[in-house]
Structure 1
Amino acid sequence: MADKLKPTATQTEPAAQKEKSLARVQAVPWLIVILLIAAVAWLGWRAFLYQEEGDPVASAMLAFEKQNSLTVFSSRFEVVAESVDRRGVLGVDLLESRQAAVIPATVEYRLDLSQMDRDRFQWDDGSDTLTVILPQLKISRPNLDEGSQATFTEGAYVSRDASTDLARNNSQQAERKAALFAKNPQVLAMARNAAKEAVRQNLAIPLQVAGYEDISVNVRFDGESAAE
Protein backbone atom coordinates (compact mmCIF):
# COMPACT_ATOMS: atom_id res chain seq x y z
CA MET A 1 0.00 0.00 0.00
CA ALA A 2 2.90 2.30 0.92
CA ASP A 3 4.52 1.65 -2.45
CA LYS A 4 1.43 2.83 -4.31
CA LEU A 5 1.41 6.23 -2.51
CA LYS A 6 5.11 7.04 -3.19
CA PRO A 7 5.50 9.37 -6.21
CA THR A 8 7.74 8.25 -9.00
CA ALA A 9 10.48 10.31 -10.73
CA THR A 10 8.38 10.65 -13.86
CA GLN A 11 5.55 12.20 -11.85
CA THR A 12 7.73 14.91 -10.16
CA GLU A 13 9.73 16.08 -13.23
CA PRO A 14 6.87 17.83 -15.03
CA ALA A 15 5.93 19.63 -11.82
CA ALA A 16 9.50 20.90 -11.31
CA GLN A 17 9.76 22.10 -14.90
CA LYS A 18 6.44 23.87 -14.55
CA GLU A 19 7.66 25.70 -11.42
CA LYS A 20 10.88 26.80 -13.18
CA SER A 21 8.95 28.15 -16.18
CA LEU A 22 6.62 30.02 -13.87
CA ALA A 23 9.58 31.54 -12.03
CA ARG A 24 11.07 32.73 -15.31
CA VAL A 25 7.80 34.32 -16.34
CA GLN A 26 7.48 36.11 -12.99
CA ALA A 27 11.11 37.35 -13.14
CA VAL A 28 10.76 39.01 -16.55
CA PRO A 29 8.64 42.00 -15.38
CA TRP A 30 11.02 42.64 -12.48
CA LEU A 31 13.99 42.55 -14.81
CA ILE A 32 12.31 45.09 -17.08
CA VAL A 33 11.59 47.34 -14.08
CA ILE A 34 15.20 47.14 -12.93
CA LEU A 35 16.49 47.99 -16.40
CA LEU A 36 14.09 50.94 -16.64
CA ILE A 37 15.19 52.25 -13.25
CA ALA A 38 18.84 51.95 -14.28
CA ALA A 39 18.16 53.73 -17.58
CA VAL A 40 16.29 56.58 -15.85
CA ALA A 41 19.06 56.94 -13.28
CA TRP A 42 21.73 57.11 -16.01
CA LEU A 43 19.77 59.66 -18.01
CA GLY A 44 19.26 61.79 -14.91
CA TRP A 45 22.96 61.68 -14.07
CA ARG A 46 23.85 62.50 -17.64
CA ALA A 47 21.45 65.45 -17.78
CA PHE A 48 22.01 67.04 -14.37
CA LEU A 49 25.25 65.83 -12.84
CA TYR A 50 27.59 64.86 -15.64
CA GLN A 51 29.71 67.57 -17.24
CA GLU A 52 31.76 66.68 -20.24
CA GLU A 53 35.08 68.46 -20.15
CA GLY A 54 35.61 70.54 -23.25
CA ASP A 55 38.60 72.32 -24.69
CA PRO A 56 39.80 74.82 -22.05
CA VAL A 57 41.38 77.06 -24.68
CA ALA A 58 38.15 77.22 -26.69
CA SER A 59 36.20 77.96 -23.49
CA ALA A 60 38.63 80.75 -22.61
CA MET A 61 38.44 82.28 -26.08
CA LEU A 62 34.65 82.20 -25.88
CA ALA A 63 34.80 84.55 -22.89
CA PHE A 64 36.36 87.26 -25.08
CA GLU A 65 34.62 86.47 -28.35
CA LYS A 66 32.02 89.26 -28.25
CA GLN A 67 34.26 91.93 -26.73
CA ASN A 68 36.48 94.16 -28.83
CA SER A 69 38.15 95.82 -25.88
CA LEU A 70 38.11 95.62 -22.11
CA THR A 71 38.71 98.63 -19.85
CA VAL A 72 40.75 97.26 -16.97
CA PHE A 73 41.90 100.34 -15.10
CA SER A 74 41.08 104.01 -14.76
CA SER A 75 43.35 106.59 -13.18
CA ARG A 76 42.18 110.03 -12.08
CA PHE A 77 44.71 112.63 -11.00
CA GLU A 78 45.38 116.36 -11.09
CA VAL A 79 47.95 118.12 -13.23
CA VAL A 80 49.28 121.64 -12.79
CA ALA A 81 49.84 123.88 -15.81
CA GLU A 82 51.15 127.42 -15.96
CA SER A 83 51.31 129.86 -18.88
CA VAL A 84 52.52 133.41 -19.40
CA ASP A 85 51.10 135.89 -21.94
CA ARG A 86 52.89 139.05 -23.00
CA ARG A 87 51.35 141.73 -25.16
CA GLY A 88 52.79 145.02 -26.35
CA VAL A 89 53.24 147.51 -29.15
CA LEU A 90 56.10 147.59 -31.65
CA GLY A 91 57.86 144.72 -29.94
CA VAL A 92 57.70 146.33 -26.51
CA ASP A 93 55.94 144.23 -23.86
CA LEU A 94 53.51 146.45 -22.05
CA LEU A 95 51.22 143.88 -20.46
CA GLU A 96 52.16 140.58 -18.90
CA SER A 97 49.71 138.11 -17.41
CA ARG A 98 50.18 134.72 -15.86
CA GLN A 99 47.72 131.93 -15.22
CA ALA A 100 48.15 128.69 -13.28
CA ALA A 101 45.58 125.93 -13.45
CA VAL A 102 44.99 122.71 -11.52
CA ILE A 103 43.06 120.43 -13.89
CA PRO A 104 41.64 116.98 -13.04
CA ALA A 105 42.44 114.36 -15.67
CA THR A 106 41.27 110.79 -16.25
CA VAL A 107 43.12 108.13 -18.25
CA GLU A 108 41.79 104.65 -19.08
CA TYR A 109 43.81 101.51 -19.77
CA ARG A 110 42.29 99.02 -22.19
CA LEU A 111 43.00 95.54 -23.53
CA ASP A 112 42.57 95.01 -27.28
CA LEU A 113 40.73 91.68 -27.22
CA SER A 114 40.64 91.45 -31.01
CA GLN A 115 44.26 90.29 -30.76
CA MET A 116 43.40 87.37 -28.48
CA ASP A 117 43.81 84.50 -30.92
CA ARG A 118 44.50 80.87 -30.03
CA ASP A 119 48.27 81.40 -29.98
CA ARG A 120 47.86 83.54 -26.87
CA PHE A 121 46.43 80.62 -24.86
CA GLN A 122 48.63 77.75 -23.68
CA TRP A 123 47.15 74.71 -21.90
CA ASP A 124 49.20 72.34 -19.74
CA ASP A 125 47.13 69.19 -19.29
CA GLY A 126 49.53 67.71 -16.73
CA SER A 127 49.11 70.54 -14.21
CA ASP A 128 45.68 71.80 -15.34
CA THR A 129 47.19 75.22 -15.95
CA LEU A 130 46.04 77.75 -18.54
CA THR A 131 48.52 80.47 -19.48
CA VAL A 132 47.13 83.61 -21.10
CA ILE A 133 49.48 86.06 -22.84
CA LEU A 134 48.05 89.57 -23.16
CA PRO A 135 48.96 92.30 -25.66
CA GLN A 136 50.31 95.55 -24.29
CA LEU A 137 47.76 97.88 -22.72
CA LYS A 138 46.40 100.77 -24.74
CA ILE A 139 46.26 104.11 -22.93
CA SER A 140 43.43 106.45 -23.80
CA ARG A 141 43.86 110.11 -24.54
CA PRO A 142 43.62 112.05 -21.26
CA ASN A 143 40.16 113.36 -20.53
CA LEU A 144 40.52 116.79 -18.93
CA ASP A 145 37.74 117.91 -16.60
CA GLU A 146 38.22 121.58 -17.31
CA GLY A 147 34.86 122.41 -15.76
CA SER A 148 36.28 121.45 -12.36
CA GLN A 149 39.67 123.14 -12.74
CA ALA A 150 40.98 125.76 -10.35
CA THR A 151 42.72 128.77 -11.92
CA PHE A 152 44.91 131.52 -10.51
CA THR A 153 45.54 134.58 -12.69
CA GLU A 154 48.04 137.39 -12.19
CA GLY A 155 48.36 140.61 -14.17
CA ALA A 156 47.44 144.28 -14.01
CA TYR A 157 45.11 143.81 -16.93
CA VAL A 158 44.14 140.55 -18.63
CA SER A 159 42.38 141.03 -21.94
CA ARG A 160 39.85 138.55 -23.32
CA ASP A 161 42.29 137.39 -25.98
CA ALA A 162 45.03 136.93 -23.38
CA SER A 163 42.67 134.96 -21.14
CA THR A 164 41.69 132.70 -24.06
CA ASP A 165 45.32 132.07 -25.01
CA LEU A 166 46.29 131.33 -21.40
CA ALA A 167 43.46 128.81 -21.02
CA ARG A 168 44.28 127.12 -24.34
CA ASN A 169 47.98 126.87 -23.53
CA ASN A 170 47.24 125.45 -20.10
CA SER A 171 44.91 122.82 -21.56
CA GLN A 172 47.54 121.69 -24.07
CA GLN A 173 50.19 121.63 -21.39
CA ALA A 174 47.93 119.69 -19.00
CA GLU A 175 47.17 117.06 -21.67
CA ARG A 176 50.86 116.51 -22.35
CA LYS A 177 51.62 116.18 -18.65
CA ALA A 178 48.70 113.82 -18.09
CA ALA A 179 49.80 111.58 -20.98
CA LEU A 180 53.32 111.49 -19.55
CA PHE A 181 52.05 110.70 -16.06
CA ALA A 182 49.88 107.87 -17.43
CA LYS A 183 53.09 106.07 -18.49
CA ASN A 184 54.58 106.30 -15.02
CA PRO A 185 55.98 102.82 -14.13
CA GLN A 186 54.06 102.65 -10.85
CA VAL A 187 50.75 103.56 -12.50
CA LEU A 188 51.43 101.11 -15.34
CA ALA A 189 52.16 98.35 -12.81
CA MET A 190 48.80 98.94 -11.13
CA ALA A 191 47.05 98.89 -14.51
CA ARG A 192 48.77 95.62 -15.48
CA ASN A 193 47.81 93.94 -12.22
CA ALA A 194 44.23 95.09 -12.67
CA ALA A 195 44.23 93.69 -16.21
CA LYS A 196 45.47 90.30 -15.06
CA GLU A 197 42.82 90.08 -12.36
CA ALA A 198 40.10 91.16 -14.79
CA VAL A 199 41.10 88.41 -17.22
CA ARG A 200 41.05 85.78 -14.45
CA GLN A 201 37.55 86.88 -13.42
CA ASN A 202 36.32 86.84 -17.03
CA LEU A 203 37.58 83.27 -17.46
CA ALA A 204 36.27 81.85 -14.17
CA ILE A 205 32.66 81.08 -15.19
CA PRO A 206 33.35 79.76 -18.74
CA LEU A 207 35.99 77.39 -17.40
CA GLN A 208 33.71 76.15 -14.61
CA VAL A 209 30.94 75.49 -17.12
CA ALA A 210 33.45 73.50 -19.19
CA GLY A 211 34.17 71.33 -16.15
CA TYR A 212 37.45 72.90 -15.06
CA GLU A 213 36.79 74.06 -11.50
CA ASP A 214 40.28 73.59 -10.04
CA ILE A 215 42.14 75.04 -12.98
CA SER A 216 45.07 77.44 -12.46
CA VAL A 217 45.17 80.53 -14.67
CA ASN A 218 48.46 82.34 -15.21
CA VAL A 219 48.25 85.71 -16.95
CA ARG A 220 51.19 87.69 -18.28
CA PHE A 221 51.89 90.36 -20.89
CA ASP A 222 53.97 90.20 -24.03
CA GLY A 223 57.61 90.43 -23.06
CA GLU A 224 57.07 89.24 -19.48
CA SER A 225 58.69 86.04 -18.28
CA ALA A 226 56.64 83.34 -16.57
CA ALA A 227 58.09 84.32 -13.20
CA GLU A 228 56.93 87.95 -13.39
Structure 2
Amino acid sequence: MANDLKTDLRTDERSSISPEVRRDRRLARTQAAPWLIVILLLAAVAWLGWRAFLYEEEGDPVGSAMLAFEKQNSLTVFSSRFEVVAESEDRRGILGVDLLESRQAAIIPASVEYRLDLSGMDRNQFVWDAEAETLDVTIPTLRISRPNLDEAQAKTFTEGTYVSRDASVDLARNNSEQAERKAVAFAKNPEVLALARQAAKDAVRQNLAIPLQVAGYGDVTVNVRFEGEDTP
Protein backbone atom coordinates (compact mmCIF):
# COMPACT_ATOMS: atom_id res chain seq x y z
CA MET A 1 0.00 0.00 0.00
CA ALA A 2 2.84 2.41 0.88
CA ASN A 3 4.60 1.67 -2.42
CA ASP A 4 1.42 2.34 -4.31
CA LEU A 5 1.07 5.66 -2.50
CA LYS A 6 4.64 6.74 -3.40
CA THR A 7 4.05 5.78 -7.02
CA ASP A 8 0.86 7.80 -7.07
CA LEU A 9 2.64 10.83 -5.58
CA ARG A 10 5.46 10.72 -8.19
CA THR A 11 2.86 10.32 -10.92
CA ASP A 12 0.86 13.28 -9.60
CA GLU A 13 4.08 15.38 -9.35
CA ARG A 14 5.06 14.68 -12.96
CA SER A 15 1.53 15.32 -14.14
CA SER A 16 1.48 18.66 -12.31
CA ILE A 17 4.54 19.94 -14.26
CA SER A 18 3.61 21.40 -17.58
CA PRO A 19 5.23 20.07 -20.78
CA GLU A 20 6.83 23.49 -21.36
CA VAL A 21 8.65 23.39 -18.00
CA ARG A 22 9.92 19.85 -18.60
CA ARG A 23 11.14 20.88 -22.06
CA ASP A 24 12.95 23.93 -20.60
CA ARG A 25 14.69 21.75 -18.01
CA ARG A 26 15.92 19.32 -20.64
CA LEU A 27 17.10 22.25 -22.81
CA ALA A 28 18.98 23.81 -19.87
CA ARG A 29 20.77 20.53 -19.16
CA THR A 30 21.64 20.19 -22.87
CA GLN A 31 23.03 23.74 -23.06
CA ALA A 32 25.03 23.43 -19.82
CA ALA A 33 26.94 20.35 -20.97
CA PRO A 34 29.10 22.13 -23.64
CA TRP A 35 29.93 24.96 -21.23
CA LEU A 36 31.07 22.44 -18.63
CA ILE A 37 33.38 20.86 -21.21
CA VAL A 38 34.78 24.29 -22.16
CA ILE A 39 35.46 25.13 -18.50
CA LEU A 40 37.25 21.82 -17.97
CA LEU A 41 39.35 22.38 -21.11
CA LEU A 42 40.31 25.90 -20.01
CA ALA A 43 41.33 24.62 -16.60
CA ALA A 44 43.47 21.91 -18.20
CA VAL A 45 45.17 24.41 -20.54
CA ALA A 46 45.85 26.79 -17.66
CA TRP A 47 47.41 24.00 -15.59
CA LEU A 48 49.58 22.82 -18.46
CA GLY A 49 50.74 26.39 -19.17
CA TRP A 50 51.61 26.95 -15.52
CA ARG A 51 53.47 23.65 -15.41
CA ALA A 52 55.44 24.39 -18.58
CA PHE A 53 56.34 28.05 -18.04
CA LEU A 54 55.88 29.06 -14.41
CA TYR A 55 56.37 25.95 -12.33
CA GLU A 56 59.74 25.56 -10.63
CA GLU A 57 60.97 22.83 -8.37
CA GLU A 58 61.07 24.02 -4.80
CA GLY A 59 64.50 24.62 -3.36
CA ASP A 60 66.25 24.92 -6.74
CA PRO A 61 67.71 28.43 -7.03
CA VAL A 62 70.06 27.22 -9.76
CA GLY A 63 67.05 26.31 -11.88
CA SER A 64 65.56 29.74 -11.21
CA ALA A 65 68.83 31.42 -12.20
CA MET A 66 69.07 29.42 -15.42
CA LEU A 67 65.46 30.26 -16.21
CA ALA A 68 66.31 33.97 -15.89
CA PHE A 69 69.14 33.50 -18.41
CA GLU A 70 67.07 31.45 -20.84
CA LYS A 71 65.05 34.54 -21.66
CA GLN A 72 68.09 36.32 -23.14
CA ASN A 73 70.77 34.44 -25.07
CA SER A 74 72.97 37.50 -25.38
CA LEU A 75 73.39 40.36 -22.92
CA THR A 76 74.96 43.69 -23.88
CA VAL A 77 76.70 44.86 -20.72
CA PHE A 78 78.80 47.83 -21.83
CA SER A 79 79.27 50.17 -24.78
CA SER A 80 82.01 52.66 -25.48
CA ARG A 81 81.97 55.61 -27.85
CA PHE A 82 85.17 57.43 -28.72
CA GLU A 83 87.06 59.11 -31.56
CA VAL A 84 90.02 57.80 -33.51
CA VAL A 85 92.44 59.81 -35.62
CA ALA A 86 93.73 58.44 -38.92
CA GLU A 87 96.13 59.99 -41.41
CA SER A 88 97.11 58.84 -44.89
CA GLU A 89 99.32 60.05 -47.72
CA ASP A 90 99.00 59.55 -51.47
CA ARG A 91 101.68 60.04 -54.13
CA ARG A 92 101.05 59.83 -57.84
CA GLY A 93 103.45 60.37 -60.71
CA ILE A 94 104.79 59.22 -64.04
CA LEU A 95 107.74 56.87 -64.60
CA GLY A 96 108.50 56.73 -60.91
CA VAL A 97 108.57 60.49 -60.47
CA ASP A 98 106.14 61.81 -57.85
CA LEU A 99 104.28 64.73 -59.34
CA LEU A 100 101.26 64.91 -57.06
CA GLU A 101 101.30 64.46 -53.31
CA SER A 102 98.29 64.73 -51.00
CA ARG A 103 97.51 64.02 -47.40
CA GLN A 104 94.28 63.54 -45.51
CA ALA A 105 93.66 63.41 -41.77
CA ALA A 106 90.34 62.25 -40.32
CA ILE A 107 88.75 62.28 -36.89
CA ILE A 108 86.16 59.50 -36.94
CA PRO A 109 83.64 58.71 -34.17
CA ALA A 110 83.55 55.01 -33.32
CA SER A 111 81.66 52.76 -30.94
CA VAL A 112 81.97 49.17 -29.73
CA GLU A 113 79.77 46.93 -27.62
CA TYR A 114 80.72 44.28 -25.08
CA ARG A 115 78.41 41.29 -24.89
CA LEU A 116 78.00 38.10 -22.87
CA ASP A 117 76.93 34.93 -24.69
CA LEU A 118 74.64 33.18 -22.19
CA SER A 119 73.34 30.48 -24.53
CA GLY A 120 76.04 27.96 -23.61
CA MET A 121 75.79 28.26 -19.84
CA ASP A 122 74.80 25.13 -17.90
CA ARG A 123 74.36 24.03 -14.27
CA ASN A 124 78.10 23.48 -13.86
CA GLN A 125 78.58 27.25 -13.94
CA PHE A 126 76.26 27.80 -10.97
CA VAL A 127 77.12 26.80 -7.41
CA TRP A 128 74.52 27.26 -4.65
CA ASP A 129 75.48 27.43 -0.98
CA ALA A 130 72.22 26.97 0.89
CA GLU A 131 73.70 27.65 4.32
CA ALA A 132 75.24 30.98 3.30
CA GLU A 133 72.44 31.76 0.80
CA THR A 134 75.10 32.49 -1.81
CA LEU A 135 75.10 31.77 -5.54
CA ASP A 136 78.47 31.65 -7.32
CA VAL A 137 78.28 32.16 -11.06
CA THR A 138 81.03 31.70 -13.65
CA ILE A 139 80.42 33.67 -16.86
CA PRO A 140 82.10 33.31 -20.28
CA THR A 141 84.65 35.71 -21.74
CA LEU A 142 83.32 38.99 -23.05
CA ARG A 143 82.75 39.32 -26.77
CA ILE A 144 83.69 42.63 -28.36
CA SER A 145 81.70 43.73 -31.38
CA ARG A 146 83.29 44.97 -34.56
CA PRO A 147 83.81 48.74 -34.28
CA ASN A 148 81.07 50.83 -35.79
CA LEU A 149 82.64 53.81 -37.56
CA ASP A 150 80.34 56.80 -37.97
CA GLU A 151 82.08 58.14 -41.06
CA ALA A 152 79.15 60.40 -41.88
CA GLN A 153 80.14 62.47 -38.81
CA ALA A 154 83.88 62.34 -39.50
CA LYS A 155 85.94 65.51 -39.72
CA THR A 156 88.49 65.45 -42.55
CA PHE A 157 91.41 67.72 -43.40
CA THR A 158 93.00 67.39 -46.85
CA GLU A 159 96.26 68.91 -48.06
CA GLY A 160 97.62 68.94 -51.62
CA THR A 161 97.85 71.16 -54.67
CA TYR A 162 95.56 68.89 -56.61
CA VAL A 163 93.74 65.86 -55.21
CA SER A 164 92.37 63.62 -57.92
CA ARG A 165 89.21 61.58 -57.56
CA ASP A 166 91.19 58.33 -57.34
CA ALA A 167 93.53 59.82 -54.76
CA SER A 168 90.58 61.01 -52.64
CA VAL A 169 89.00 57.54 -52.70
CA ASP A 170 92.27 55.87 -51.72
CA LEU A 171 92.88 58.32 -48.89
CA ALA A 172 89.38 57.78 -47.46
CA ARG A 173 89.69 53.98 -47.72
CA ASN A 174 93.10 53.94 -46.07
CA ASN A 175 91.85 56.15 -43.26
CA SER A 176 88.84 53.89 -42.68
CA GLU A 177 91.01 50.77 -42.44
CA GLN A 178 93.43 52.55 -40.13
CA ALA A 179 90.58 53.87 -37.96
CA GLU A 180 89.09 50.39 -37.57
CA ARG A 181 92.43 48.93 -36.46
CA LYS A 182 92.87 51.72 -33.93
CA ALA A 183 89.31 51.26 -32.67
CA VAL A 184 89.91 47.53 -32.13
CA ALA A 185 93.09 48.32 -30.20
CA PHE A 186 91.27 50.90 -28.09
CA ALA A 187 88.46 48.46 -27.30
CA LYS A 188 91.04 46.00 -25.92
CA ASN A 189 92.74 48.65 -23.82
CA PRO A 190 93.16 47.17 -20.30
CA GLU A 191 91.47 50.13 -18.61
CA VAL A 192 88.45 50.08 -20.93
CA LEU A 193 88.25 46.28 -20.75
CA ALA A 194 88.30 46.43 -16.95
CA LEU A 195 85.31 48.78 -17.00
CA ALA A 196 83.45 46.42 -19.34
CA ARG A 197 84.21 43.37 -17.19
CA GLN A 198 82.98 45.11 -14.05
CA ALA A 199 79.83 46.22 -15.86
CA ALA A 200 79.27 42.60 -16.95
CA LYS A 201 79.53 41.34 -13.37
CA ASP A 202 77.14 44.02 -12.12
CA ALA A 203 74.64 43.25 -14.89
CA VAL A 204 74.66 39.50 -14.20
CA ARG A 205 74.40 40.07 -10.46
CA GLN A 206 71.37 42.30 -10.92
CA ASN A 207 69.76 39.99 -13.50
CA LEU A 208 69.93 37.09 -11.03
CA ALA A 209 69.43 38.68 -7.62
CA ILE A 210 66.06 40.22 -8.44
CA PRO A 211 64.45 37.08 -9.99
CA LEU A 212 65.70 34.96 -7.09
CA GLN A 213 64.21 37.40 -4.62
CA VAL A 214 60.90 37.38 -6.50
CA ALA A 215 60.99 33.56 -6.54
CA GLY A 216 61.05 33.61 -2.75
CA TYR A 217 64.70 32.91 -1.96
CA GLY A 218 65.17 36.16 -0.07
CA ASP A 219 68.18 38.44 -0.17
CA VAL A 220 70.57 36.10 -2.00
CA THR A 221 74.23 37.06 -2.42
CA VAL A 222 75.37 36.56 -6.02
CA ASN A 223 79.10 36.32 -6.69
CA VAL A 224 80.18 36.60 -10.33
CA ARG A 225 83.52 35.82 -11.91
CA PHE A 226 84.85 35.15 -15.40
CA GLU A 227 86.15 31.81 -16.64
CA GLY A 228 89.76 31.44 -15.57
CA GLU A 229 89.47 34.16 -12.94
CA ASP A 230 90.38 33.31 -9.37
CA THR A 231 87.54 33.04 -6.89
CA PRO A 232 87.44 36.18 -4.73
Fold-level match, TM-score > 0.5? yes
2:222 maps to which of 217, 220, 223: 217
Give 1 or 2 for the bigger CA radius of gyration. 1
Query: 1:117 maps to what in 2?
Result: 122
**Range with greater deviation from structure 2 (165-174 or 206-215):** 206-215
Which of residues 155, 161, 164 in structure 2 aligns to 1:159?
Answer: 164
- In structure 1, the residue matched to 2:155 is 150
Equivalenced residues, count: 177
Letter in 2 for 1:173: Q
Shift of 1:207: 0.3
1 CA distance for matches of 2:199 and 2:60?
26
**Deviant stretches of 4+, over 3 Å:** none
TM-score by length of 2: 0.74
Unaligned 5+ segments in structure 1 are 1-51
Give the Cα separation in 1 of the matches to 2:200 and 2:140. 11
- Where does 1:40-189 land on structure 2 (aligned, <5 Å)? 53-189=58-194
- Cα distance between partner residues in 1 of 2:117 and 2:64: 19
Aligned partners of 1:53 and 1:212 also within 8 Å: no
Does the residue aligned with 2:104 lie in a helix, a strand or coil?
A: strand
CA-to-partner distance for each residue in 1:167-219, whole Å, 9 max, x for gaps? 00000000000001100010010001111111111112320122112211000
Question: What is the identity, as a one-letter code, of the residue corresponding to 2:95?
Answer: L
Secondary structure of the corresponding residue to residue 158 of structure 1: coil
- After TM superposition, the structure 1 = structure 2 runs for residues 13-32 of structure 1, keeping only pairs within 5 Å, are none
Distance in 2 separating the partners of 1:217 and 1:121: 10
The one-letter code sitting in structure 1 at the alignment partner of 2:70 is E
Residue among 182, 206, 209 paired with 2:211: 206
How far did residue 53 of structure 1 move? 4.8
| Distance in 2 of aligned mates of 1:61 and 1:157 | 63
Percentage identity across aligned positions? Answer: 78
Q: Deviations over 1:27-80 (max 9, x none)?
A: xxxxxxxxxxxxxxxxxxxxxxxxx95311000000110212110000001000
1:126 positional shift: 1.7
Q: In 1, distance between residues paired with 2:163 and 2:59?
A: 71
The 3-state SS of whatever aligns with 1:210 is helix
The whole-number CA distance in structure 1 between the counterparts of 2:108 and 2:92 is 25
> Does the Cα contact within 8 Å between 1:88 and 1:94 map onto a contact in 2?
yes
RMSD value, Cα: 1.4
Name which structure has the greater RCO, CA cutoff 8 Å, separation 6+: 1
